[in-house]
Chains A and B, each alone.
Chain A
């Protein structure tokens, strides 16, 4: 059995205790909601996208340390980034979580930075859904903002 120290790395706990970009954005920002049916967690992602760039991002909702910190780190990583770069990052992250989608190749050269700390989650398969909740919700937001 892997130890919880692989799961609860310091950077993860830091983002859990002090989440970045927590809050909401008023319309016309896009708001999408994601649910984890396993544990009842919910998360809302607010995206302000203009000229193909994520100008601002915020998140709200309730969740465990993994879902909250993963989403917090994600917002830091994508703020100010072009949508195409964000999509590539999502693919890279989901690949790390071994849940990679088939659409588009994974660019292994993309730096994950702090997000790399979430790599330990794959040793706890039940928690992968916690780590990916915010990312899947983000993806939905990106898709709906383009539609």
Chain B
């Protein structure tokens, strides 16, 4: 019903996701927590299961054909990811544990090599803790200075004093899309502003890569990172992309097997990229799952995913506002073109934790809390919010289920 008049057939897509079409106690699942982690399509589940049942072997270290094929599958996934974000080469793709590890890798490896006391790193008020704490650790350790781009009253980055903030900066690290507000930032413009002062541009793309086409070369970024589990892939693997020359010049992060080309009693020599940053046995099955997720998303088309989510955003914003008026406060931009389909809100004074508990009675899954962005929560004046986030498998029926569940929540309080 709802899928027919939108840019992709969400009704058909839903059937690819077992959890999305499941039910508990006879009530259908309404999964609205994809900004947290997405559900997995059968294609990904099957690719991982098939590999473990029929093809599992170590990679990069054995000559037998089973191992050679496993290596081919693992490296094949790297090539898929490189194309997915238009990286120049798959040597620029490093698999990490998650996006948090990727940010820590940059702060640890690039940061400790290139930053000294008093150097400036610019962040924004809408960052996730993963793009705050690694820099604060450097602040404690070597005394770098942190500066913050503030927000406007309509939840955009306030760029009016950006050139002052960036003056003399070595790094500008920012999110492509806020995981709390849904705000989509002007990534190309921000990268250009960083480069104009000779600073590195680091883009935390966790919230945008799963939801819209990504072109790291068009962005003009230096580093970006995102996680598999938010883009229909498994948890346990994240992606770091960096310009080859930068990765080449950086010292390794973790030391051990796979990341070396030579080890003697008096020292070691690093492996070539990207193995240099992949110490130890990687999450082989998970990387292959991520490759299958990329295939799945390509089959649908990222531009179609984005269009669907713009349509969902329009529907959600219009309906929640029409139905609840002043009883609901949505912390984020009103223009669907400037935001993703992630909505943090306050409703009728009910604490978000209580709200999510009551919504759970009808299987409406929303996140409640600070969304790993405590500084931002303080700025918007909330201890916690409830957050409903939509993805390619969500329909207008899901948005209606959310509204109905919200309406009944105040019966209890």
Contact = CB atoms under 8 A, between A and B. Distances in A.
Contacts of B368: 39
Nearest to B412: A8
A63 interface: yes
A64 B353 contact: yes
Given A4-B357, A130-B353, A65 B370 contact: no
A124 B358 CA distance: 12
A62 B25 contact: no
Given A4-B412, A39-B369, A64-B351, A124 B357 contact: yes
A46 B174 CA distance: 40
B357 A127 contact: yes
Contact of B361 (A3, A38, A65, A127): A3
A16 B413 CA distance: 9
Kindly state the interface size class of chain A when it binds its partner.
20 to 34
A40 B24 contact: no
A63 B351 contact: yes
B336 to A, nearest CB: 28
A30 B383 CA distance: 24
A106 interface: no
B384 interface: yes
A108 to B, nearest CB: 29
Contacts of A3: 361
A10 to B, nearest CB: 11
Interface string B24-47: 110000000000000000000000
A139 interface: no
B400 interface: no
Contacts of A7: 357
B348 interface: no
A34 to B, nearest CB: 13
A90 to B, nearest CB: 23
A39 B413 contact: no
Given A1-B24, A13-B413, A42-B383, A64 B354 contact: yes
B357 A62 contact: no
Interface in B347-362: 351-354, 357-358, 360-361
A20 B262 CA distance: 69
B374 interface: yes
Contact of A41 (B25, B358, B374, B384): B384
A127 B360 CA distance: 13
Contacts of A62: 383
Nearest to B361: A4
A41 B368 CA distance: 11
Contacts of A16: 413
Contacts of B360: 1
A40 B377 contact: yes
A105 B25 CA distance: 40
A40 B357 contact: no
Interface in B331-389: 351-354, 357-358, 360-361, 368-370, 374, 377, 383-384
B383 A13 contact: no
A81 to B, nearest CB: 29
Nearest to A16: B413
B75 to A, nearest CB: 39
Contacts of B374: 40
Given A3-B361, A7-B357, A38 B412 contact: no
A-B pairs, 5 with minimum CB distance:
A40-B370, A64-B353, A64-B351, A40-B384, A40-B383
Given A13-B412, A64-B353, 20 more contacts: A1-B24, A4-B357, A4-B412, A8-B354, A16-B413, A39-B353, A39-B368, A39-B369, A39-B370, A41-B353, A41-B383, A41-B384, A63-B351, A64-B352, A64-B354, A65-B351, A65-B354, A66-B354, A127-B353, A127-B357
10 contacts: A1-B361, A4-B361, A8-B354, A13-B413, A39-B369, A63-B351, A64-B352, A65-B351, A127-B353, A130-B353
Interface of A: 1, 3-4, 7-8, 13, 16, 38-42, 62-66, 124, 127, 130
